[in-house]
């Protein structure tokens, strides 16, 4: 056996030495021959490439399975890690919500008791219609928008116009298929409001700027930037508690409010009927004369 192994090695030794010596040149010649063949017979080379690809595809597919399996396992591991963190966050949030639920139930029970003691009359259920803004300004109103909803959709003058952020204005004119909403910032707008923290009453007056003013505040009122402003419900214009804005600046003669509504993003308005008649119709003293 040793002789045969040695004799075979002695036979193949010249070929191996020849290959080692001229391998680089043979490879270059082979590549050049393939290039010439590809130029001479494109169809043959294309068929050969397709055949080789078809033959090696099962092998590559088989070899790729372990890599894909490892990748899937790693992905599942990452997902499990993220799920654990998410579950921990949700459990913490759920605990907080349960605490708030207990507080809300206690407050609800107290409200029911107080309402029964004071013979409280509940407010009528509110209904609403959502309309799209189809036009800006017009007529005597500088800061107003046109909505594609009118008496056909049960829209009435005096209804509150709201967005997801808060009160935007009130319906000033109504047609069969449209309504004009007078915005809080218009010169003709006057809204009874209250400072949410101190309960000081005032009138939010527009002046055609983006920051309406607070008028008729009590001299002893303590107002600070950051105080929330909500509707007071007085004069029957709006129900109490509708979010209006936040005090942004306070000076000796001027208090400005930044409305919650983002005017540059005003696309849709919800016209809400709180069951309250138009204040201008019920009380002539609230009518604002045209400038």
Domain spans of the chain, in order of start: 128-286
Output the pTM of the full model: 0.56
Q: What pLDDT is recorded for position 121?
A: 63
In this predicted model, what pLDDT tens digit does every residue of 191-234 receive, in sequence order? 999 998 888 999 999 999 999 999 998 888 888 999 999 999 88
Is 128-286 a CATH 3.50.50.60 domain? Answer: no
Distance separating alpha carbons of residues 181 and 155, to the nearest angstrom: 11
Q: What pLDDT is recorded for position 275?
A: 76
Nearest to 158 by CA among 10, 267, 275, 18: 275
Q: What pLDDT is recorded for position 67?
A: 64
Query: Is the CB of residue 271 less than 8 Å from the CB of residue 128?
Result: yes
Q: What pLDDT is recorded for position 122?
A: 64
Average pLDDT along the chain, 291 residues, taken 10 residues at a time: 53 70 77 72 70 71 67 80 84 85 82 72 76 76 87 91 92 90 93 91 93 90 91 84 93 91 91 68 41 35
Nearest to 209 by CA among 258, 158, 266: 258
Q: What pLDDT is recorded for position 6?
A: 52
**Residue 62: C-alpha distances to residues 56, 140, 290 (Å):** 10, 78, 83
202, with CB counted inside 10 A (0-12, 13-18, 19+), is: buried
């Amino acid at each position: 056996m040793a002789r045969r192994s040695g004799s075979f090695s002695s036979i193949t030794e010249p070929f191996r030495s020849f290959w080692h010596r001229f391998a680089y040149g043979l490879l270059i010649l082979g590549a050049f021959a393939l290039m010439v063949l590809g130029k001479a017979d494109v169809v043959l080379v294309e068929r050969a490439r397709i055949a080789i690809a078809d033959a090696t595809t099962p092998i590559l597919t088989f070899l790729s399975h372990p890599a894909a399996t490892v990748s899937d396992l790693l992905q599942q591991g990452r997902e499990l890690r993220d799920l654990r963190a998410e579950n921990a966050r949700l459990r913490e949030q759920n605990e907080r919500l349960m605490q708030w639920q207990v507080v809300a139930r206690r407050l609800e029970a107290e409200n029911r008791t107080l309402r029964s003691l004071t013979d409280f009359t509940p407010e009528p259920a509110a209904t609403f219609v959502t309309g799209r803004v189809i036009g800006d300004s017009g007529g005597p109103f500088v800061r107003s928008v046109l909505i594609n909803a009118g008496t056909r959709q049960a829209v009435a003058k005096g209804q509150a116009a709201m967005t997801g952020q808060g009160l935007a204005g009130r319906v000033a004119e109504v047609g069969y298929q449209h309504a004009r909403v007078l915005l809080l910032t218009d010169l003709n707008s006057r809204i009874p409001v209250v400072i949410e923290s101190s309960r000081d009453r005032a009138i939010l007056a527009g002046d055609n700027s983006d920051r309406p003013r607070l008028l008729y505040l009590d001299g002893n009122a303590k107002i600070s930037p950051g105080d929330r402003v909500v509707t007071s419900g007085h004069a029957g214009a709006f129900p109490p508690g509708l979010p209006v804005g936040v005090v942004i600046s306070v000076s000796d003669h001027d208090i400005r409010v930044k409305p919650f509504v983002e005017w540059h993003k005003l696309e849709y308005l919800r016209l809400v009927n709180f069951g309250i008649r138009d204040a201008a119709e019920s009380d002539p003293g609230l009518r604002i004369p045209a400038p």
